[in-house]
Every structure is written in C-alpha cells, then in structure tokens.
Amino acid sequence: MISFCGIGCHECEAFKATQNDDDKKRAKVAKQWSKQHNTIFEPHEINCDGCKSQTGRLFKYCRTCDVRKCGIEKEIETCGHCPEYACEKLNPIFKVVPGAEVRLDALRKN
C-alpha cells in the first residue's frame, strides 16, 4: 500500500508496529520520532492502518494532514495520479521521506 504522499506503508515503522500489534516497536518508534521531530509522541499514539483508511486506526498527524485531506477530496489513488502533481503540500513530506517523491515520480511515469 502506498499513501497519498508516496510513503510506502509496508516500510513505515508505525504501520508495521500496528499491523503486528507490537508494543515494544511502538515505544521504540515513539522515542525515535519524538527525537527526530522535536516533539513528544507516546507509544499509544503509534497506530496506523494507512492514511487511506476511513475506519481504521490513524496516526494522529494523519487526522490533520493536508495531503490526506486533498487526496480524499479528489478521490485519487496517490498524489502521483493528481493533475496538479507535485504541489507545495508535498514539500515537507519529501524533506523527511525523500523516497516518497521517488515513488510518486515513478507512478507518474507509468
């Protein structure tokens, strides 16, 4: 599964921790992400069934994510399928997850 912004869910540590119901992994991810993003994430917040999920668990950032909101509104598979790709909404994500841009560019070519 690929998120709207191009993150490969199968590579995401929060997604993997959720799918495996692994509390130790959640704690590790919370600690790493807290340090990386200079904020505090608690292990119980590390839950995600993918940002395309309408009824599943979402990481708290996904609830306010402009890219997710836009993708849902436009009913697109990924941002790579959007006629406005690549818009400025993606820039912060591409800085943190450069592989997301590569993935969307590849989808765009196909």
Question: Is 1 part of a structural domain of the chain?
Answer: no
Evaluate whether residue 40 is within a structural domain: yes
Q: Is residue 2 part of a domain?
A: no
Find the mean pLDDT for residues 80-92: 93
The residues, ordered by sequence, that sit 6+ positions from 68 with a Cβ below 8 Å of its Cβ are 3, 4, 5, 51, 62
| Domain, as residue range, for 83 | 9-109
Q: What's the whole-model pTM score?
A: 0.84
Q: Is residue 110 predicted with pLDDT exceeding 80?
A: no
pLDDT band of residue 68 (cuts 50, 70, 90) is very high
Q: Is residue 98 part of a domain?
A: yes
- The answer to the question of residue 4 being in a domain is no
Amino acid letter, 57: R
Percentage of the chain modeled with pLDDT above 70: 100
- pLDDT score of 46: 94
Residue 18, H or E segment: helix 13-19
| CA gap 7, 103 in Å, rounded | 8
Is residue 30 situated within a structural domain?
yes
Please provide the distance, in angstroms rounded to a whole number, between the alpha carbons at the two ends of the chain. Answer: 17
Phi-psi region of 64 (alpha: psi -120 to 50; beta: other; left: phi over 0): alpha
**Number of folded domains in the chain?**
1
Q: How many CB atoms lie within 10 A of CB 46?
A: 26
Give me 96's structure tokens: 């943190």
